[in-house]
Amino acid sequence: MDDARTGLSEEARIIPAWAFVVAFVAFAGIQVVFHAWAWPREHHPPPAVFRVLLPIFAGAVLAFFALLVGYVNRDAGRRGMNRLGWTLGVIFIPNAIGFILYFLLRKPLVLDCLRCGARVSRAYNFCPRCNHALHPACPSCKRAVGAADAFCPYCGATLTARA
Ligand SMILES: [Zn+2]
Ligand SMILES: [Zn+2]
């Protein structure tokens, strides 16, 4: 289970600023498209209430979509998942199936320390309770490295002795 699950407002805080910008531009753009382009070309325009509400609804859906893409982009990173792959996935897999897959398959935010069993954040490299290395780390600069790496990609230290 996901013990580190937090409130919705807490979660919304990880949405990056660019997603809010995209959401705002999308919302405003939809209003312009409907009011400056679509409605004037209608020979039998729908009632005024509908002409106002439809663009607002469509804009809100699009803005929500942009914010959700921004959320997945950040959330995948802190869960140790492929950020670019999932961001493109939720954008291009139609009918929100990308989002459904993401929320079904996303890894928990916390994992159990293999040495002391403490529940620790996936973002940590070392267990805060027992100093156990949670991910393969460079012995020289302590940054996380791939399990198969021969050299540290950050400082160039030789990693072969590690295994
Ligand atoms: Zn530990
Ligand atoms: Zn290093």
| C-alpha 126 to ligand 1 mean position (Å) | 8
Q: Report how many domains make up the chain.
A: 2
Q: 73: burial class by Cβ within 10 Å (0-12, 13-18, 19+)?
A: buried
- At residue 122, the pLDDT reads 82
End-to-end CA distance of the chain: 31
When pLDDT is averaged across residues 11-17 and rounded to a whole number, the result is 93
Q: List, for residues 73-122, the tens digit of each pLDDT value.
A: 999 988 878 999 999 999 999 999 999 999 999 988 888 898 999 988 88
Taking CB atoms within 8 Å and a gap of at least 24, the contacts of 124-130 are none
- At residue 5, the pLDDT reads 54
Quick one: which of 80, 76, 81 has its CA closest to 124?
Answer: 80
Domain co-membership, 68 together with 14: yes
Confidence band for 125, pLDDT divided at 50, 70 and 90: confident
Q: Which ligand is nearest to the CA of 129?
A: 1
* Cα–chain center distance at 126: 23
Q: Is residue 1 part of a domain?
A: no
Q: Is residue 2 part of a domain?
A: no
When pLDDT is averaged across residues 126-153 and rounded to a whole number, the result is 87
Domain co-membership, 88 together with 135: no
- Structure token digits, residue 98: 């990308």
Domain co-membership, 29 together with 103: yes
Q: Is residue 3 part of a domain?
A: no
Residues 6+ apart with CB under 8 A from 83: 73, 76, 77
State which of 89, 108, 127 marks the end of a domain: 108
- At residue 37, the pLDDT reads 95
CA pseudo-torsion sign 125, 131, 132, 138: positive
Residue 146 belongs to domain spanning: 109-163
Q: Is residue 119 part of a domain?
A: yes
* 1 has a pLDDT exceeding 50: no
Domain co-membership, 23 together with 49: yes
**CA 22 to CA 63: how far, in whole Å?**
7
Q: Give, as residue ranges, everything with CB less than 5 Å from ion ligand 1.
A: 113, 115-116, 118, 127, 129-130, 132
| C-alpha 141 to ligand 2 mean position (Å) | 4
Say if pTM beats, i.e. exceeds, 0.85.
no
Domain co-membership, 93 together with 59: yes
Q: Tell me which residue has tokens 């949405």.
A: 15
Q: List, for residues 15-51, the tens digit of each pLDDT value.
A: 999 999 999 999 999 999 999 999 999 999 899 999 9
